[in-house]
Structure 1
Amino acid sequence: MSTAFDTYQSLLAAIAADGGPSREVHDPATGELIARVPIHDETDLAHAIERARSAQPGWAALSDEERSAALNRVADVVEAAAEPLAELLSREQGKPLNGPNARFEVGACAAWLRATAATPLPVEVVVDDGDAYAELHRRPIGLVAAITPWNWPMMIAVWQIAPSLRMGNAVVAKPSEYTPLSGLALTAVMNSVLPDGVLSTVVGDGALGAAMTTSPAFGKIMFTGSTATGKRIVQSSADNLTRLTLELGGNDAGIVLPDVDPAAIAQDLFWGAFINTGQTCAAMKRLYVHEDVYDEVVAALAEVAAAMPMGVGVDEQNVLGPLQNRMQFDVVDRLVEAAKSSGARVVLGGDPDRGAVGNFYPTTLIADIDPANPLVLEEQFGPALPIIRYHDVDEAIALANGVDVGLGASVWSADRAKARDIASRLQAGTVWINSHGGVHPMIPFGGVKQSGYGLEFGAEGLKSVSVPQVING
């Protein structure tokens, strides 16, 4: 399929600021200027809301089959523009083109669009006993605000946008102020086949996001980001009783049982922790390893980690990139220094070049660390993994559950039945066995405790962006 966005230059030209208020966006790996991005204000937000209100009834009036067909056409144009989208994503976010990174993320956007279009959500007959008959239907909410983060700026946007559109809503999206070009680029490509006004993107800082969360125009807010911001959204949206899906912070634990083959699981352990250079909500951020295999697991993981090239994202050989922003670099640096000061053992890394232009923090493994160390108890969101030795599995479960968040967790064992039993005792929205962090468009995903509430993906995800209507009789 031909597209107006078949080169990086044409894609960038379509979204870069051409006048009015703007600011510079720089490559976190090199410091190079990528483009100037427009800055939107509440007047721009009001215009986007008005366009969405005008477009939504006609979009909702289409049949479910017609909206699903439209999502498949959107997937087609995303695939046609995949390489320009991946290059822009790599330059702005920092993630490399290869590995489970930029090209992977754009491919996931198309795959999620198609899966969302294909997910069945039939009318449910809830009672049919001869005396009573009732059906449960799902209707559009109206307008959905999609507020997305900087770590997976295209894929998470599709996670929010695709089901909202499928169910007949119009969407106003706001990307993170750290990755605005990625959000604008994705919208530009999608809007090449969507009806005007059904999907809009506004760009701004937290004040613009706050204006969205207080607006009565939105019947639903979807937010992925920090727990602190999620709490503010709950408060600011309360007067409107706005429906919410909140996917918030995590501090995922992995528990390795003594029956594992350390060499066999090392690569999967690595990517469970270091995918997107550790900048993933459901990455493994704490690893508890039984004392019988502790040294072997640490050594095998270090061997894998040391072989993974880190560097500028558009260099084809790299699979790890910089941290997206200096704020996050400083968080990781502070936590690793706290671990080093406590006497924990640095197995790999831990020695960043703080004066370098790019936000590169080396792949870091910290062993023999106290379970109460800040690097263990706080979410680092970067390429530094604490590895904690344990003696008894009950101790490991208590430590894994001993934080106030619960997005994901994993259990690693040769005995799947034993692993499932342990999984049932972990306080997390998803527990993986012998892997960590993988998501599937048909498998519901969401957190417990202060990792938020609401489910995404599959039929549950479609239900979350609709309102139920019972037809009784």
Structure 2
Amino acid sequence: MRDATLDVPSPLDGHRVDRLTTREDVTTTVLAAREALPAWAGTPAAGRGAALRAAADAVRARADELATAVAEETGRPFDSAREGVLAGVSTLEQYAELGPVHRGRSLLGSPDAADFMVPEPRGVVVALTPWNDPVAVACGLLGAALVTGNTAVHKPSERCPRTGALLGEVMAGHFPRGVLQTLDGDGEVGAALAASPHVDVVAHVGGTATGRSIAQACARTGAKALLENGGNDPLVVDGDVDPVWAAGQAALGAFTNAGQLCTSVERIYVHEAVAEEFVRALCEEARRWTAAAQPLVDRRMRDHVHAHVTEAVAEGAELLVGGEVPDGDGSYYPATVLMGCTATMRVMREETFGPVAPVRIVASFEEGLAEACVDEHGLAATVLTGSMANAQRAWRALPVGTVKVNAVFGGAPGGAAQPRRSSGTGFGYGPELLDEMTTVKVVHLGQAQIQPSSQARRAAS
């Protein structure tokens, strides 16, 4: 058991949003989840789905309150924060429907036997969730875990503890005691949860370094690690597209949520045939985004982003727009455009996670695609091209879990994501997440040979 005090500064003006004093006992919490597991796992699937649907209704009813907490703690504008909350509601509803029909399969065997595979809950799931879209991400992991019969312990980011605590309060009342619990705390609490021998799954969305530590902890305990770590997502712009439209797409990908999205555009490769117009339009976009700037989550994140920019300039990149820390309170940073970036610059080879668009001009689509493929991450990538041949070549070549063609964001409902390499492992969304949260038991049901006396007694009865 440990006491901790969490101060949450406002990204808008630096004042303290909240101070939470916590007294967390990781072992007691995890054991309570373990104790609640048999009864919850034995609850009919339809009953688990109904409970999750009720939780979704409760979250929707308090969407404004949750969005306000997100806005105050992370700096995300209220309307955007509310969209994130409602996206979480939609995910809960989706899993409430999919959970009861999640099924195994039968196997072909001999005529006198039955063989089948049955999905079962893995056990106690720990969900470690980020601050950049806290409600939507948490609802995905918790919804899939709970509807498949697992119990869950949720530790939200220490940058948005009030949001996490409120979400837990809203949802937990619709489940039996111990089925869903929330723990506030910093990285030490998360590390203790990941290292617990009583945990069966650790699901994490966040930075690569933390994800690697979790993977090591799970290797020691035997728990399953389900990880979406950082990304360094490229955007490749072909020479046949409208450069102004392409610049709008690039700005949307690089500057939305102040660049603080897992699948933000982190590096841009633009064909020389459209480069001049593209860069000019991208600079105009950057100025427009800065005029309605959203702050970074805190000054520590701003220092990280600014370090990437200043290092790139020192190494020869040209700063076209932004790149200066503004005066005043809060943690604002302008939308920034860099030209002449090289592969060795940190802004091109690491995740910046801020409103920065580093541009590299290439002589051909093939050159841009080849450079985009060179990276240790493997989360997502975007290609803008009017050529079906180039689109086909790109989605086959890019070593990432998700490739988007001609749109930096978007996708059909129920879409899945499976990161690669240092970006993580396992499906993080979609129906496939139900598979991640369950394990399969294979059953071979044969016929016993019955003693003659037993057969006679059965016939007489």
The two structures have a TM-score, normalised by structure 2, of 0.91
**Counterparts of 1:27-426 in structure 2 under 5 Å?**
27-41=10-24, 44-98=25-79, 101-119=80-98, 120-127=101-108, 130=111, 133-308=114-289, 318=292, 320-353=293-326, 356-426=328-398
3-state DSSP of counterpart to 1:138: strand
Find the aligned partners of 2:323 and 2:239 in 1 and give their Cα distance. 28
Measure how far apart 1:38 and its partner are.
2.9
Task: Report the equivalent of 2:457.
Answer: none
Q: CA deviation at 1:440?
A: 5.2
Following superposition, the deviation at residue 102 of structure 1 comes to 0.5
Please tell me whether the aligned partners of residues 347 and 358 of structure 2 are also in contact (alpha carbons under 8 angstroms): yes
What CA distance in whole angstroms lies between the structure 1 residues aligned with 2:53 and 2:36? Answer: 20
**Which residue in 2 is equivalent to 1:4?**
none
Distance in 2 (alpha carbons) for counterparts of 1:131 and 1:275: 60
Q: Secondary structure at the match of 1:462?
A: helix
Q: Return the offset for 1:219.
A: 0.6
Q: Secondary structure at the match of 2:308?
A: helix
Query: Matches of 1:70 and 1:255 in 2, distance apart?
Result: 44
Q: 1:109 & 1:266 partners in 2: Cα distance?
A: 30
In 1, the alpha carbon distance for the partners of 2:421 and 2:12 equals: 35
Equivalent-residue separation in structure 1 for 2:207 and 2:6 (angstroms):
24
1 CA distance for matches of 2:229 and 2:168?
24
CA 1:440/1:34 → structure 2, altered by over 3 Å: closer, same or farther? farther
How far residue 384 of structure 1 moved from its aligned partner, in angstroms, is 0.7
Cα shift at 1:406: 0.9
Report how many residues are paired.
Answer: 441
Distance 1:309 1:387, change over 3 A: closer
Unaligned 5+ runs, structure 2: 446-461
Equivalent residue letter for 2:313: K
Q: CA separation of 1:143/1:342 partners in 2, compared to 1, >3 Å: closer, same or farther?
A: same
Change in 2 beyond 3 A, CA 1:416/1:195: farther
User: Over residues 42-79 of structure 1, what are the superposed CA-to-partner deviations in whole Å (9 max), with x where a residue is unaligned?
Assistant: xx222322321232222211211111121111111111
For residues 274 and 127 of structure 1, the distance between their equivalents in structure 2, rounded to whole angstroms, comes to 53
Paired residue secondary structure (2:54): helix
1:24 alignment partner in structure 2: 7
- Does the 8 A contact of 1:269 with 1:435 survive in 2? no
* Matched residue type, 1:407: L
**Preserved CA contact (<8 Å) 1:420 1:433:** no
Contact 1:255 1:287 (C-alpha < 8 Å) held by counterparts: yes
- Separation (CA, whole Å) in 1 of partners of 2:282 and 2:395: 23
Contact 2:266 2:358 in 1 (8 A): yes
Per the TM alignment, residue 415 of structure 1 is displaced from its structure 2 partner at its CA by 2.6
Report the CA distance shift for 1:246/1:105 in structure 2 as closer, same or farther (over 3 A). Answer: same
Q: Give the conservation status (yes or no) of the 8 Å contact 1:446–1:456.
A: yes
**Could you list the runs of 4 or more consecutive aligned residues of structure 1 that deviate by over 6 angstroms after TM superposition?**
none
Shift of 1:261: 1.2
RMSD: 1.9
The letter of the residue matching 2:5 is S
The answer (yes or no) to whether the contact 1:284–1:437 under 8 Å persists in 2 is no
Following superposition, the deviation at residue 416 of structure 1 comes to: 3.6
Q: Alpha carbons of 1:444 and 1:21: their partners in 2 closer, same or farther (altered >3 Å)?
A: closer
The worse-fitting range, judged by mean Cα deviation, of 259-268 and 329-338 is: 259-268
Deviations 1:430-470 (A, max 9, x none): 11111224455522212111111111222211010111111
Q: State whether residues 368 and 389 of structure 1, in contact with CA within 8 Å, keep that contact through their aligned partners in structure 2.
A: yes
Whole-angstrom CA distance in 1 between matches of 2:12 and 2:81: 14
Q: CA deviation at 1:376?
A: 1.0
Alpha-carbon distance between aligned partners in 2 of 1:116 and 1:267, rounded to the nearest angstrom = 34
Give 1:130 deviation, angstroms.
4.2
Quick one: structure 1 residues 130 and 273, their matched pair in 2 at CA, closer, same or farther if it must change by over 3 Å?
farther
Q: Are the counterparts in 2 of residues 247 and 447 from structure 1 also a CA contact under 8 Å?
A: yes
Q: Which has the larger radius of gyration?
A: 2
TM-score, normalization: structure 1? 0.89
Inter-partner Cα distance in structure 1 for 2:193 and 2:4: 20
Q: Which moved more, 1:322-331 or 1:83-92?
A: 322-331
Contact 1:259 1:413 (C-alpha < 8 Å) held by counterparts: yes
Q: Distance in 1 between matches of 2:195 and 2:143?
A: 23
Whether the 8 Å contact between 2:290 and 2:334 is mirrored in structure 1 is: no
